[in-house]
Structure 1
């Protein structure tokens, strides 16, 4: 298994996979659902209503229009060149979400990914996150990160700093900024580390595109932002390591593959 590495200061350490050609024909969007505006909160996860929902009977598209933010996900850094290339081709104003989804599927099958995360249905259980570059610089091993205090949002809001990062990567315009349902969770180390003074962060998730596939399976593309700040003890500085690490990862995500028994492959217990 190979892993695409990413971090705020890690681009020089990153190996970008070869670019593969992916159709970007906008005519295929007739059955797509872009930028989700309705949500169905996960059972057991705190919910805050940022906008009033519309009352009425369920439509035929409810299965598509109400995302569930739970399960295993494979994450892919937005700034990877082969993803930037297909996001907003020259001369277009509408993001090619389906092209991104199709391209990411190819790398997932290798398997290849930037990071993985698991979001439970119940916040009592806690989620998990792992990324090769969010690591202990002394051991080189990725931190085991748990996700807590998960809150479902009717309208997910990215901070100004997060939006600036995404805009710089994707060259977004106001028309291509996501406004939809999502989930926010806090990130912290799963267990105490001897030489870590503090470690905290957040992860944000929203769905930007969905489509019912030919085999009646739901295809979904998510986007999000993971930030994690670590302060190390003086021991690290004495050994020549940085005193702190700040990780900011804007990402695309798709649901994990399943094994022969139908179980998702990922970080779930």
Structure 2
């Protein structure tokens, strides 16, 4: 197994390419990288602090190095991982940019896009409804199987991911009819005889991966509300923020979103933004 194959099997194409570039730079600057110790990795990152002030950039480089040494361990070239316990003091901002999110009415617009081909129109409406109504992540949508859909009960089950918990969510009434048509007629046409129980299929009958879903949203909807960017992430963030703004209890929104910790849901509260806006209005009124 090559490094490229290892990265490609564990990351999206974009992330794998980015990690590959950073690893190549690391190897060119540190010829003895394959036998480096913890202090060597920490010293390399310390030197980069003089060049890069962005915590996000440094974190990307560190993640690349962690991937490199994880590959060496997985391929039997090393028995220890010198980068595993290396962490940055810098904290990347986890603030949700609430001012860039979308209202429930704007999210509904995403479900009304016209398609040239009827089959793709149904598939895309099913996909977008899972983002707009259930607030699922692309990785969660990609692993849904036909057996996870219970139209009689009107529910959908997601197995969760490394960052979200497994949960069963209700479907909207209009989704039940939409999913029925997709499962009965549209999906078999897309499947083209291929043996798969993955729910979301591409035009050639292959299972849609998380990266495919993210790219699909950006390509078809990304500029719809410019300069705000429509992505699978901002749609999910909007759904969660709108539930809290509507007054739903924090613990119920946490369960709906699959957040493992209440603090993850707390980031979506509007109160801090409203307080800031009130202060601006009080001390800097627009005349």
TM-score range, shorter chain: under 0.3
Q: Larger strand proportion, structure 1 or 2?
A: 1
Q: Larger helix proportion, structure 1 or 2?
A: 2
Please report the TM-score for the alignment, with normalisation by the length of structure 1: 0.23
Please report the TM-score for the alignment, with normalisation by the length of structure 2: 0.22
